[in-house]
Every structure is written in structure tokens, then in C-alpha cells.
Amino acid sequence: MRESARRRGAILLFTAPFFVLFAVAILAPLGYAVYLSLFSEKSSGLGFGGSETVFVGLGNYLDTVKDVAFTDGFLIILGYCVLYIPLMIGGALALALLLDSGLAKLTRLFQLGLFLPHVVPGVIAGLIWLYLYLPGVSPVVDLLGDVDFLGGGHALGSVVNVALWEWVGYNMIIYFAALQAIPAEVVEAARLDGAGAVRIALGVKLPLIRGAVVTTVLFTIIGSLQLFTEPMVLDNVSDGIVSTWTPNMYAYNQAFGNNDIGQAGAASILLALLAAVASYAVTRWGSRR
């Protein structure tokens, strides 16, 4: 009994910092956001007496759901996911399989070069590509014949391109590490059975790193719902991106543009709930697979 109590005490001692940090950094802000979402600023009197904070219950949530600017943002996210996720997952897998096959020389150098864009902060990455997208400034635009990368028809693709530049190398490292963990005898057995390089890659290696793929898909979906930095940087010069282009940008605009903290909190909570549902669905799908 004494040994069991000592073991439980050790477990609590080592896990307590995580739970304290989780409560302070996650639960407390989330609870405060829920609290703020239940109130709204209303003008008092005839407009001469300033404003007062009043309890509106779920009113901010209803207003947010009814706001077309908020709901349209999810269409942007859907289009972003349709373009971004297959390109990012496919590109990262292809690069990882190429490096793992041994066909590529200077593997470590390629890994470093492909991973470096992820080290660049999102704001800096947005500014770099903003320079490359601007007509009259960018050598790329001049070379391609003044293509309007920031116009309404190309804005989504331009944001996807920035995200791919940032994240393909990062996910490639995850896949490459998972491929390196595959027992060599499994690959050798497939080779002795007559399987070629492509068959081994698609029929042996990919199924064995399914867990890593599901994990990156989960994180990518959550990250897509939180899309903010890249379009926010491009917003100032792009005709196709507005201040409420994504749900995250909508919440930011409500808080700091319209000074409506309550509705910004409601939008944030709704977005968090959707991310939780998406996480659960992808996790269940990965478990069944």
C-alpha cells in the first residue's frame, strides 16, 4: 500500500506542472472567452450616456451564426482544405519516400533545405511572398507576364502556396522519421518477393506509416480552421482578401475593428467547438482504419 501511494504521489508530482499550465494557458482563457461571449455593449439612454455591459445570453452566438461574413469564411476554409491538404500531404509523402528510397543524394542537406521554410515565422513568410506577388516589384510576376496573384481569382491559391512553402518540409520530416522506423527486414522481405520500388513504397511503407499520416491530417485540419496570419498579411494589398475572409479574421475584426468583444468571443468559441468536432471525427476515422 505504501509503495502504491508513493507511486501515485510520484505520478501526481510529475504531471502536476502540465495540468497547472494547461489550466492557466488553455482552460482559463477559454472560460473567460465563454464569459465574455454572454455579454454585449449596449448604448444607454439616447446615446448621450455612453454604453453599458448587459447580459445577452446566447444572443451573440445567434448573431454570429446569422452573420453571412462569418459563415462565408467557412466556405473559404473548405476551399482552402480542398486545395491545401492533398497538395501538402501528397508532396510531403513523395519527398519523404524519395529521401527514404536512397535515390536522392545529400539526404541531410535536402532535409535541412526543405525544413528551413518552416523555421521562418508566418508573418515573415507572408511578407516574403507579398514581395514576390506584387506587380512591378516581383521578378516572378514580371517573368510570368503581370499575373495578378493577389486578385480575387487567385487570392486563395496564393495563400495556399504560402502555406505549402511553410509546411511541406515540416510534415516531410515527420513522414521520413516514420519511414526510418520501419524494420529493414519487412522491406527486404517484400523485395525478395519480387516487389519493385514503387510497389514497396505504396504497398508496404505507406500502410506502415498510416498513424503519422492521420496525425498530420488532424493537425492540418485544425490549423486550416485557424487560418489567420498569411491572409492577414496579404489583406492590405489584395483585392480578393477582406478583413473577415476567414472565421479567425472575423473574430479579430469584431474584437479590434468593431470593438465587439462579446461577438468576437462567441465566434471564437464556435470555432473552437468546430475544431474539437473535427479532431474527434478524424481521430475516430484513424482508429477505425
CB 258 within 8 A of CB 267: no
- Measured in whole angstroms, how far is the alpha carbon of residue 74 from the centre of its chain? 14
What's the mean pLDDT in 103-131? Answer: 82
* Confidence check: pLDDT of 87 > 60: yes
pLDDT band at 289 (very low <50, low <70, confident <90, very high): low
Q: Is residue 33 part of a domain?
A: no
Rounded Cα–Cα distance for residues 129 and 235 (Å): 13
133-155 pLDDT per residue, tens: 887 788 877 777 767 787 777 88
CA distances from 37 to 54, 58, 264 (A): 11, 8, 7
> Residue 96 sits in which domain range?
59-288
Reading the block at residue 271, the C-alpha cell is: 470555432
Answer whether residue 38 is part of any domain.
no
Residue 72 domain flag: yes
| pTM of the predicted model over 0.75 | yes
pLDDT of residue 10: 79
* Judgement on whether residues 148 and 6 belong to the same structural domain of the protein: no
Are residue 68 and residue 20 in the same domain, yes or no? no
The pLDDT of residue 103: 65
CA dist., res. 143 & res. 21, Å (int): 51
